[in-house]
Amino acid sequence: MLDVIQDPAQPLTPSPAPDAPAPQSTAPTAEDSAFSRAADALQRHREPSEVWGDEREAVSLALRWAAAHTTVATDPKTTARSAEELQAEVGATITEDGIGAARAMELFDEVLLPATRSSEDPMNLAYIPAAPTRAAVAFDTVVSAANVFGGIWENGAGAIFAENQVLRWLADLLGWPADAAGVFVSGGTQGNLSALATARDHALRERGRRPGGGWALACASTAHSSVASAARLLDMDVVTVPVDDRGHLTGAALEPLLAEDPRICAVVASGGTTNAGIVDDLASVVEVAHRHGAWVHVDGAYGGAALASPSARERFAGIEQADSFIVDPHKWLFAPYDCCALLYRDARPAAAAHSQHAAYLDSIDRGESNPSDLAAHLTRRTRGLPLWYSLATHGTAAYAAAVDRCLDSARAVAEAIRASEHLELLVEPELSVVVFRRPGWTPAAYRRWSQRLAKDGTMLCVPTAFRGEIALRLAFVNPATDPWAVIAVLEETMREADGS
Ligand SMILES: Cc1ncc(COP(=O)(O)O)c(C=O)c1O
């Protein structure tokens, strides 16, 4: 792949051959003006640094590789290797004099990147894969080149303004008021932690003191593991609420626990569980929790993207009154890693919980929209911008259509599984996760099947547990996944496995 990299001394825009005819004058396109601005910028080129020397080769190698790689097809066979193998092949890269950009780039392209798994492959249906638009991936490079400090308005105004437009789009999908606000953080774990820190701080301010026995949060056993992790970090107990027979957290199950345990200051509901894509009964959860003075946080890290589809919006009824919400655009909103949108219906408790104060920070204008005030961080990359660029490029209707495609794929595959004589569908998909089993298989048979398909690059589908039993799980977040290809793999390999 490195052969796409051209002479680094060449300008990034192609110049005409000396004997080429003069170009026809045509109206400038958006692309022309972007390139002419870039060319203008080149007139303001940096002098080689006295410390780093001339870095043009390093820049050109990296950017040309990025440009080429952004449109290269995924390779489903790339996979992890042991650290020992990599050490043997790569050797020492961190040396006193450096190994040089060409060698570093070569190692990355030929050894290091192939030792990673493509989360974007259309047949990668394990865990929660990824499917960023090419526009979003490309713009991530732009965000790096711009290198804006996104913590405070004074430094990042223009970039934060654009991020806020995306957050407003999400707030509108939630049905939240005009003064709802949020921030992009690195991922769902960080988003859940920051929201729950806000909830706990808010409860302390409201109630005036910590309850005997400390704080607690309530959630179903199906809540993501990051919720228990946040509780540990925040020194909160977790009160587990039983789910209904279809796996939902409900207000009815929550009510007696909230009534008897005043330590519970927050309830976490799932807007799409990771394992099975179940959306809790948000309307009843919000009603009961608020009646008992508890904060409601909705973890939509995976499933919150379905709010973008009018066909799925009804499942989230009640979210209009939740207090905080997260969605990871790197999961199902077609953005690259790492990106979590954290929103608050009323952001004032978040600012009270998270604003940092120090002598050197006192001149920050706290009247402005300062993203660093809304989560556990200060410095931040403007990681919402790749999503902004992609949304601005494609429009929200394309997002609704892309989410719908994934919902349709899940339904089509679930239907085929229901009709299959070899397989059993374990739960009706509410969003885009399909959970099923192969009656008669031992855990070892599941693992063998999964590993064989992974090794061949046919499909990535790993075992999970569902209601205490081993099962298989497919997560559809990639609109490029062909459900009929998935069905064909299941039919073929499950039949083969039957005969073995
Ligand atoms: C529902 C849910 N919440 C939180 C997380 C944690 O998100 P992250 O991996 O971005 O930290 C995940 C990750 O899969 C998730 O599915």
pLDDT in tens, 245-266: 999 999 999 999 999 999 999 9
CA of 228 to the centre of ligand 1 (A): 12
Measure 82 CA to ligand 1 centroid, in angstroms. 26
| Candidate of 302, 339, 462 to mutate for ligand 1, largest count of ligand atoms within 8 Å of Cβ | 302
Burial of 69 (0-12, 13-18, 19+ CB in 10 A): middle
Which residues sit with their C-beta closer than 6 Å to ligand 1?
Answer: 128, 187-189, 192, 224, 226, 274, 299, 301-302, 328, 340
Please give the span between the terminal C-alpha atoms of the chain, in angstroms, as a whole number: 41
Distances (CA, A) of 34 to 40, 144, 194, 252: 10, 17, 38, 57
Q: Tell the residue nearest (CA) to atom 16 of ligand 1.
A: 274
Distance 272 CA to ligand 1 centre (A): 11
The angle subtended at Cα 419 by Cα 416 and Cα 421, nearest 5°, is: 115
Tell me, in angstroms, the distance from the centre of ligand 1 to residue 188's CA: 4
Helix 385-394 with 153-174: angle, nearest 10 deg: 50
Specify the residue with its C-alpha closest to ligand 1, atom 5: 188
Question: 248: which 2 tokens?
Answer: 């939902």
CATH number of the structural domain 401-499: 3.90.1150.10
Q: Check: CB of residue 183 under 8 Å from CB of residue 382.
A: no
As a whole number of angstroms, the distance between CA 306 and CA 312 comes to: 6
Handedness of CA 346, 349, 355, 359 (dihedral sign): positive
Instruction: Specify which residues 240 forms β-bridges with.
Output: 219
What is the identity of the amino acid at 249?
L
What's the 28 CA to ligand 1 centre distance in angstroms? 44
pLDDT at 498: 60
Q: Which helix (H) or strand (E) holds 344?
A: strand 340-344
Hey, whose CA ends up nearest to atom 6 of ligand 1? 188
Cβ proximity of 477 and 301 under 8 Å: no
* Cα 204 from Cα 212, distance rounded (Å): 12
Q: Name the amino acid, one letter, at 58.
A: A
The ligand 1 atom at the shortest distance from the C-alpha of residue 192 is: 4
For the entire predicted model, the pTM comes to: 0.92
Query: Which helix (H) or strand (E) covers residue 216, if one does?
Result: strand 216-220
Give the containing element (helix H, strand E) for 182.
strand 181-185
Give distance in angstroms: CA of 14 to centre of ligand 1.
43
401-499 and 138-396 share a CATH fold: no
- Tens-digit pLDDT profile for residues 408-453: 999 999 999 999 999 999 999 999 999 999 999 999 999 999 999 9
Residue 225 CA to ligand 1 centre (angstroms): 8
CATH topology assigned to domain 138-396? Aspartate Aminotransferase; domain 2 (3.40.640)
The helix (H) or strand (E) run that includes residue 146 is helix 134-146
Give yes or no for a contact between 257 and 228, defined as CB atoms under 8 angstroms apart.
Answer: no
What is the position in ligand 1's atom list of the atom closest to the CA of 186?
A: 10
- Our mutation pick for probing the ligand 1 site, out of 326, 328, 337, counting the most ligand atoms within 8 A of Cβ, is 328
d(CA 202, CA 207): 8
Q: Residue ranges per domain, the chain? A: 1-15+55-114, 138-396, 401-499
CA-nearest residue, atom 15 of ligand 1: 301
Mutational pocket test of ligand 1: of 221, 224, 332, the residue with most ligand atoms within 8 Å of the beta carbon: 224
- Indicate the length of the chain as a whole number: 500
Backbone angles phi, psi at 62, to 5 degrees: -70, -45
* Of 424, 423, 413, 421, residue with least CA distance to 459: 413
Distance 436 CA to ligand 1 centre (A): 22
Q: What is the 118 CA–ligand 1 centroid distance (Å)?
A: 18
Ordered mean pLDDT values, 10 residues apiece, the chain (500 residues): 41 41 54 65 76 93 96 90 96 97 98 94 96 98 97 95 98 97 98 98 97 97 97 98 96 98 98 97 98 98 97 97 98 98 97 91 79 96 98 98 98 97 96 96 94 94 94 98 97 74
Q: Which amino acid is at 175?
A: G
Q: What pLDDT score does 365 carry?
A: 78
